[in-house]
Structure 1
Amino acid sequence: MNVLNISTRSKQYPLFIGKGLRYRVGELLKEMNRSYSKYLIITDETVAPLYLQDVIDSLGEVVTHIVPNGEKAKSFDHYYSCLTTALENGLDRKSCIIALGGGVVGDLAGFAAASYMRGIGFIQVPTTLLAHDSSVGGKVAINHPLGKNMIGSFYQPDAVIYDVETFQSLPDVEWRSGFSEVIKHALIWDSSFYEELKREIPTINELKNIDLTSILEKAIGVKAEVVSQDEKETGIRAYLNFGHTLAHAIEAELGYGKVSHGEAVAIGMIFAMRVSEKHYEIKLPIESIEEWFKQLSLPIRIPSGLSADKLIERMKMDKKAMHGEIYMVLQKKIGEVETTSIDEKVLYLLLEKEIERGL
C-alpha cells in the first residue's frame, strides 16, 4: 500500500492506494484517528453484490443505500432518496457518508454529504479506473437535463481508499473510459508521462495486465498538484477539463449513459487539438494519437446524428462559458495547455468538418 497526501487550501487528506484495501476501510480510518457516529454507504446495483459486504465487514454496523448503475443515478430524485435514507436512519453531524463505486456514485454521495446538515464526513472508496480522477479534488455534483454536473459543490473527502483489485471486475468499456482520463493528465501536464503511456500501453490488454499503481500515482499526482494550486477552479484547475467541453455536450445531447464519459473525453481531446492547431497555427501529433486511440478502441469521431448547431448550444452551457462565449482548454504543445475563448463561427466550421470525418 502507498499513501499520497492531497493538499488543498481547505483540507489535507490521505489517498491510500493498493490491493485489498476494501477489507481494511475500518482499520485505515482508525489509523487516521477518525471516529464517526454512524456510516451510510452509498453504492450502486453493480458494485453492491461485488464489494459492499467486504466494506461492511471492515466497519461493523452500517446503513446502506443502493442506486442504479450509470449516469441516471446522478439525478435530483436519487439525490433526494440518499438524503431521505440519511434522515430516516438518524445520521447526525458526526456521521459519515462513504461512496463505494465509480465516479457517478462518488459525485452523488459527495453532494449528499456536502449538503446534509450543511456538511458531514465523506470517504471515497473508488472501484473504477476512471475514479482516479473524480475521487480526488472535491468536485461533487448531480446532472440536470440541460447540462452535466451543473448542480454541485466543492467538498473534499476525509480520505480516499483506492483498492486497485476492484478493477478486475470492470468491463472493457470502463477500462477504456478510465484510461482516457489518465491520458488526459499526461497531455495537459507531462510530455514524458505521455510518451511512457504511449510506449508501454499500446492496447487495453497491456493495461489490464500490469500493476497500475505507479501509473495511477502519476496521474493522481497531476490532479493533486493542480488542485493544490487552484482548489475551486478560478484558474489552472480548468486545465483538467481538456476535452470536456465537447465531451459534456456529446453526453448531454445523446442522453447520459449512451456513451461513457472517458470515451466522450477521447473524442473531445482530439477535437480540442484540432481547434488548437487552428487557433495557434501549429502542428500537433493528432494522427499519431488517433492511431493509438484506435488501438485502444477509443473513439475519435463525433457520434453520428449530432449536429454542430446543437453541440454549440450545449457548449454554451459549459461551466467555463462566460457572457455567452465558449471557452476551451487548448493545447500549445504536449504537456502545455491554456484556457481561451473561441470564436463561435470558427468552432462551427471545425465541428462541421469533424462531423463529416465521421460520416
Structure 2
Amino acid sequence: MTAPKTPSFAVQPQIVPIALDEGQRGYDILIGAGLLDEAAAWEGLPKAAAALIVSNETVAPLYLARLQLRLAAQYARVETVLLPDGERYKDWASLNLIFDHLLETASDRKTVLFALGGGVIGDMTGFAASVYMRGVPFVQVPTTLLAQVDSSVGGKTAINHPLGKNMLGAFYQPARVIADLDTLDSLPQRELSAGLAEVIKYGPIADAAFLAWIELNLDALLARDKSALAYAVKRCCEIKAWVVGQDEREQGLRAVLNFGHTFGHAIETGLGYGEWLHGEAVGCGMVMASDLAVRLGLMPGEFLPRMRTLIERAGLPVVGPALGAQRYLELMRVDKKAEGGAIRFVLPEGLGKAGMHAAPDDLVAQVLASHVA
C-alpha cells in the first residue's frame, strides 16, 4: 500500500470537528503554528467573568504570559494555578490545589478552566472541571505531542491511584482544543519520542496507510518538521474524533485506542509513576501486544519485527522492566478493560483493524519472558 505524501504545511489552522450526539454536542480541535498569538483561534470561547489557567512549573515560564495576554481580552479576571511537574503528581493532592484556588477566589459555575500543558495537566484540569460545582467549562491547550494527538481529545479525564493508573476520573468534554505546533519546539527529545508512541498506535488499529506514512516520515517527525507534525497531529485527531463520535464513553469501539496500554499501564504502575514516561510504557506495551497478536494467530509473524523496529527507531524502549510475570498479570487485572478479573487486550486483527481479546495467562507469561530485561 502506497503511503500518502506529506501535504505542504498550511499557514491557516486546520480544524478537526468532534461530533457527539448526532451533531447536537461537540467541539473543534484547532491545529496549527502560532495559535497562541492568533486572535482568531480564541474567538467564541465560553463567556464568563473569570478564567483559571492550570499549568505546571515547567510549561508556565514558556507559554503562560502569552496565554494570559490572549485571555485578558475576553475575561475580566485571569487567575493561575501552577502544579508540580510529573506523572507522580497526578493525584488527589495536586487536584485539590485546583479546587482550593477555585473556592478561595469564589469562582462560580461559569468560570472557564484552561489546561496549559501535557497530558497530566490536561487530565487533572478536565477532572477538576467535571467536579467543581458539578461541571464548569474547560479548554485544552496541549503543549506536548502526546497530548495533541491523544489525551487532550475525547474527554477522558483522570488521576492515578497507587494501585492503578487513571482509575479515578470522568468522561467530560472540553469546549475546544487548541494545539499550537510551535509549542513542540521546546519539548525535550525524550518527550517527543513518548508522543510518537501515541502517533504510531493509530496505524495498526485504524489506518494501514498511516502506519506506512509514519515509517517513511519518522525521521522528519523526530526532526520536528512542521509539515510532518501537522499531518500527523491532524490524522491522529481525525481517527480519534471518528472513534469518539461513535463511542464517547468507551462501551465498545473506543477501547481499541488502548493498543499497548494494558502492558504499558502495568509498567507505569509497577515501577512507580514517572519512572517511565507514559509513551515509553505504551511503546514497549505495543511490542508485547504485537507479539501476543502473532501468537494468537491474529497477525502474521512479520508484524512483530515491523513494530519493534519502528518503535525502536522512534527512540522508545522495546524491552520491559523485570517486574516478574505474576506481578505483570496482577497489575493488568486492575486494568479498566478487565472484566471479572479476566485480562482483555486490544490486539490488531489485520492492519487497520483491532478488537478485544483474552489470552491464557501462560501465553501472556511467554510474551513477557520474551520482552523483559
Fold shared per TM-score above 0.5: yes
1:46 aligns with 2:63: no
Matched to 1:291, the amino acid is: T
CA deviation vs aligned residue, 1:89-121 (integer Å, no higher than 9, x gap): 111011111100000000000000000000001
Matched to 2:348, the amino acid is: Q
DSSP 3-state at the match of 2:54 = strand
> 8 Å contact 2:294–2:304 — kept in the other structure?
no
Give the TM-score normalised by structure 1. Answer: 0.94
Q: CA RMSD in A?
A: 1.6
1:88 aligns with 2:101: no
Matched to 1:125, the amino acid is: V
C-alpha distance in 1 between matches for 2:38 and 2:220? 32
Say if 1:282 and 1:166 are closer, same or farther in 2 by CA, change over 3 A: closer
1:28 aligns with 2:28: no
Say if 1:348 and 1:33 are closer, same or farther in 2 by CA, change over 3 A: closer
C-alpha distance in 2 between matches for 1:37 and 1:146? 39
Matched to 2:312, the amino acid is: K
Say if 1:211 and 1:283 are closer, same or farther in 2 by CA, change over 3 A: closer
C-alpha distance in 1 between matches for 2:267 and 2:20? 31
Equivalences for 1:51-90 in 2 at 5 Å? 51-60=63-72, 61-90=77-106
Q: CA deviation at 1:265?
A: 0.6
Q: CA deviation at 1:186?
A: 1.5
Q: 1:288 — aligned with what?
A: 306
DSSP 3-state at the match of 1:17 = strand
Matched to 1:138, the amino acid is: G
Q: CA deviation at 1:204?
A: 5.5
Q: CA deviation at 1:260?
A: 0.9
Q: CA deviation at 1:147?
A: 0.4
DSSP 3-state at the match of 1:35 = coil
Greater CA drift, 109-118 or 204-213: 204-213
1:98 aligns with 2:114: yes
C-alpha distance in 2 between matches for 1:281 and 1:136? 29
Give the TM-score normalised by structure 2. Answer: 0.91
C-alpha distance in 2 between matches for 1:13 and 1:307? 44
1:228 aligns with 2:241: no
Q: CA deviation at 1:2?
A: 1.5
Matched to 1:94, the amino acid is: K
CA deviation vs aligned residue, 1:230-259 (integer Å, no higher than 9, x gap): 000000100000000000000000011111
1:13 aligns with 2:27: yes
Q: 2:202 aligns with which of 180, 185, 188?
A: 185
Point out where structure 2 has 5 or more consecutive residues left out of the alignment.
1-12
> 8 Å contact 2:256–2:354 — kept in the other structure?
yes
> 8 Å contact 1:11–1:156 — kept in the other structure?
no
Tell me the percent identity. 41
C-alpha distance in 1 between matches for 2:216 and 2:370? 30
CA deviation vs aligned residue, 1:13-46 (integer Å, no higher than 9, x gap): 0111111112346x534x3263122101000000
Q: CA deviation at 1:175?
A: 0.7
C-alpha distance in 2 between matches for 1:343 and 1:193? 32
Q: CA deviation at 1:176?
A: 0.4
Deviating beyond 4 angstroms after TM superposition, the runs of 4 or more aligned structure 1 residues are 207-211
> 8 Å contact 2:111–2:137 — kept in the other structure?
yes
C-alpha distance in 2 between matches for 1:17 and 1:209? 11
Matched to 1:18, the amino acid is: G
Matched to 1:57, the amino acid is: L
